[in-house]
Structure 1
Amino acid sequence: MSFSMLRAPVCKAAFSTPSVSQFALRNQFRRFATGPASSEPVKSGGKSWLIGGGLLAFGGVGYYLYSTNPDLFKEAGTAAKSSVQAAKVATKFTPAQEDYQKVYNKIVQLVEDAGDYDDGSYGPVLVRLAWHASGTYDKETGTGGSNYATMRFEPEAKHGANNGLNIARDIMEGVKKEFPWISYGDLWTLGGVCAIQEMSGPKIPWRPGRIDGFATEATPDGRLPDASQGADHLRSIFYRMGFNDQEIVALSGAHALGRCHTDRSGFDGPWTFSPTTVTNDYFKLLFDERWIWKKWSGPKQLVDKKTGTLMMLPTDYVLTQDKSFKKFAKAYADDQDLWFKDFSKAVSTLFELGVPTQQFVSSEPWILKTKEEQEEK
């Protein structure tokens, strides 16, 4: 039985609402049937259908279809959820920008209340969460990206590249409880925006509209960069997402933040002397310091010869060796404003990977205010 046979009936039954015509919603259903839906009940028009586990309870015919093809119902539920989001956009039935600013402000509190964690800030790990939730996108298949927040599920949560991100997800869970209406994909990417901006970085244009997906949509391992590899590997990973050499280098500058941990990646140490502040020091240090291979039992990495306290990964050092990468890395080392501009654009693009344009609540991304800007006002 083809999925197209279910589209019109499901749309008609599930989205009967006085504010949006059935015809318009049916068209949106067809246009935005893109992937997995939330496991939460979807309510509309005084009716409720349970989507979790692939079940849409709407009568004997529905039960028969589910019992013969449960995967089909997961697909239908996902399309329904995506259409709900599209319908919200069409009818402006969405939280306002001010509501997302409140979520941003809550995240600011968490970033500042890190205590003894790492260098006293949760900012870097929140950036990493947003990055890894988005960087799984495959432009050829249209899978992955931030739309479905599938790192909530195993096995994706336990992929090697995601080691330690349970800390960031747990932090965000507290925000989710206070603002249950926000999707995980929106929450995680907003956390990355907040962290970058509050750590003296550039403004990151952002807009909501992501929906939550099923465990069956978790992406396969191997889609995120392997820090032990070289230029060919970087291009393979980033070209798959749709980025070019300049954007690869610009995004690599996020290593100005945070540090590696032996119990997570196996590598050890910070990239810069100010790992909780967004600067172009990462690029400056690449060219200004002398880097030598670290003598230890861990994976291959470099340390600065002068102090031995900083480190660079093989994928970092290749930016000084590859002719194309080096050109951009040197430009960013010489001009922080240039890097801020290119980094902002690349990160905004990264965080939107995998999200159908029609799901966004705004045609243009927003610029959310920092804590300092709000206090000044």
Structure 2
Amino acid sequence: MSQAFARLRQPLRAASRQVAGPSSRNAAPSFRASFRRFNSTEAPKPPKSNTGLYAGIAGGALLAGIGYYYYSSGMNPATAAKSGAQAAKVATNFVPSKEDYQKVYNKIAQMLDEAEDYDDGSYGPVILRLAWHASGTYDKDSNTGGSNYATMRFEPEALHGANNGLDVARGLMQKIKEEFPWISYGDLWTLGGVAAVQEMGGPKIPWRPGRIDGTAEKATPDGRLPDASQGSDHLRNIFYRMGFNDQEIVALSGAHALGRCHTDRSGFDGPWTFSPITLTNDYYRLLFDEKWVWRKWEGPKQLQDKSTRSLMMLPTDYVLVQDKSFKKYAKQYADDQDVFFKDFSDVVARLFELGVPTEQFVSKEPWVMKNADEE
């Protein structure tokens, strides 16, 4: 038995005897959807081209992170013991290929459509929000935050106001994690974001694995994500800190074509578009084409369309047509969805890699994952 495996076995055995889980606030809620489980297939042989790179992640990053995973995952002892044996196999014999990650993608894509009556019938928007908020904590000056350590698993980051409601997404992704225990949370969550965009009619988002799981000490302070009640200065402070410019701020804002706000999460209420589970450039078109008025209600300050009063825009959305620099990019995207899709793909791919050292990635070039209907 190798020395590496012997060193790994001791913390895995300890984890099977004593498992400490996250707060019950983050436990997966009970959903009406019935999650069908698939038997894992036998691990394929590693491709010749990336063997060295994969081994670096599987043998180095996995050995560093697997022991802590069982401490933080919230598994019961029996499940932890079983998964511990799987993890030992992962660390010593299993080198995941692109095809293995494609299987994870496919499982996520299947889960997105099992939402039944959740919101508008898809988990896609909340899964994308999880990937976005896990990545958008990056600070380029201190080189902290970002998707590398998936620290939203821990309090107090899990309880930050901007992350309200994301326990739903973390619970859903935990089910995927239990089926594919070899994938890191950072890779899983960002791959979920890729799947959400692509399966909701958006562009391909180049992606590659290599993120590792960190500890609670790596969690980021509150205040790094956008406050929707603020204006253009706030947006620039938040996004410039991540390393984005004005054009990229406007492109990333296009994610608001998807999903809706909830009064029990952000305090705001309503969808941005008439098709909240399909990614289009309607978010920008509506900003220019509709007349927006301030909603008269007891909630926080938000706008609604004057014609139907069924849509809403946040103060941070409305500044895209008020600020001169933002407005020119918003108009480009309103006029041409192809331009929006290209820029959105580029900037989301960058967003999901924030905080990840280049040497950790298992591939020099990002991959393009197949949509579910392409498999």
Q: How does 1:277-296 map to 2 (within 5 A)?
A: 277-296=278-297
User: What are the Cα deviations for residues 33-83 of structure 1, in whole angstroms up to 9, with x where unaligned?
Assistant: xxxxxxxxxx8243237679xxxxxxxxxxxxxxxxxxxxxxxxxxx9998
User: What are the Cα deviations for residues 181-215 of structure 1, in whole angstroms up to 9, with x where unaligned?
Assistant: 00000000000000100001000000000000111
1:126 matched to 2:127? The reply is yes
Partner of 1:313: 314
Look up the SS of the partner of 2:8 in the other structure. Answer: strand
Partner of 1:251: 252
Runs of 4+ residues deviating >6 angstroms:
49-52, 80-83
Residues 239, 245 of structure 2: 8 Å contact kept: yes
Partner of 2:305: 304
User: What are the Cα deviations for residues 299-326 of structure 1, in whole angstroms up to 9, with x where unaligned?
Assistant: 0000000000000000000000000000
Partner of 1:334: 335
TM-score by length of 2: 0.78
Whichever of the two has the greater Rg, that structure is 1
Q: Aligned partners of 2:328, 2:123: CA distance in 1, in Å?
A: 32
Q: Which amino acid aligns with 1:305?
A: K
Look up the SS of the partner of 1:181 in the other structure. Answer: coil
Look up the SS of the partner of 1:292 in the other structure. Answer: strand
Q: Aligned partners of 1:194, 1:227: CA distance in 2, in Å?
A: 25
Residues 57, 210 of structure 2: 8 Å contact kept: no
Residues 86, 358 of structure 1: 8 Å contact kept: no
1:46 matched to 2:6? The reply is yes
Say if 1:87 and 1:170 are closer, same or farther in 2 by CA, change over 3 A: closer
Partner of 1:73: none
User: What are the Cα deviations for residues 338-373 of structure 1, in whole angstroms up to 9, with x where unaligned?
Assistant: 000000000000000000000000000000000111
Residues 206, 349 of structure 2: 8 Å contact kept: yes
Q: Which amino acid aligns with 1:260?
A: C
Q: Aligned partners of 1:148, 1:49: CA distance in 2, in Å?
A: 23
Partner of 1:346: 347
Gaps of 5+ in 1: 1-15, 18-42, 53-79
Residues 138, 241 of structure 1: 8 Å contact kept: yes
User: What are the Cα deviations for residues 142-162 of structure 1, in whole angstroms up to 9, with x where unaligned?
Assistant: 100000000000000000000
Q: How does 1:1-377 map to 2 (within 5 A)?
A: 44-48=4-8, 84-85=60-61, 94-374=95-375
User: What are the Cα deviations for residues 102-137 of structure 1, in whole angstroms up to 9, with x where unaligned?
Assistant: 000000111010010000000000000000000000
Q: Aligned partners of 1:245, 1:82: CA distance in 2, in Å?
A: 38
Q: Which amino acid aligns with 1:253?
A: G
CA RMSD of aligned residues (A): 2.3
Say if 1:252 and 1:213 are closer, same or farther in 2 by CA, change over 3 A: same
Say if 1:302 and 1:101 are closer, same or farther in 2 by CA, change over 3 A: same
Q: Which amino acid aligns with 1:127?
A: L
Aligned length: 306
Look up the SS of the partner of 1:298 in the other structure. Answer: coil
Residues 82, 211 of structure 1: 8 Å contact kept: no
State the identity %.
Answer: 73
User: What are the Cα deviations for residues 277-308 of structure 1, in whole angstroms up to 9, with x where unaligned?
Assistant: 00000000000000000000100000000000
Residues 232, 323 of structure 2: 8 Å contact kept: yes
Say if 1:313 and 1:51 are closer, same or farther in 2 by CA, change over 3 A: farther
Q: Aligned partners of 1:343, 1:265: CA distance in 2, in Å?
A: 24
Look up the SS of the partner of 2:116 in the other structure. Answer: coil
**Deviation of residue 87 (structure 1)?**
9.7
Q: Aligned partners of 1:215, 1:45: CA distance in 2, in Å?
A: 26
Q: Aligned partners of 1:92, 1:197: CA distance in 2, in Å?
A: 32
Q: Aligned partners of 1:179, 1:308: CA distance in 2, in Å?
A: 44
Q: Aligned partners of 1:92, 1:246: CA distance in 2, in Å?
A: 45
Residues 131, 190 of structure 2: 8 Å contact kept: yes
Q: Aligned partners of 2:59, 2:244: CA distance in 1, in Å?
A: 29
TM-score by length of 1: 0.78
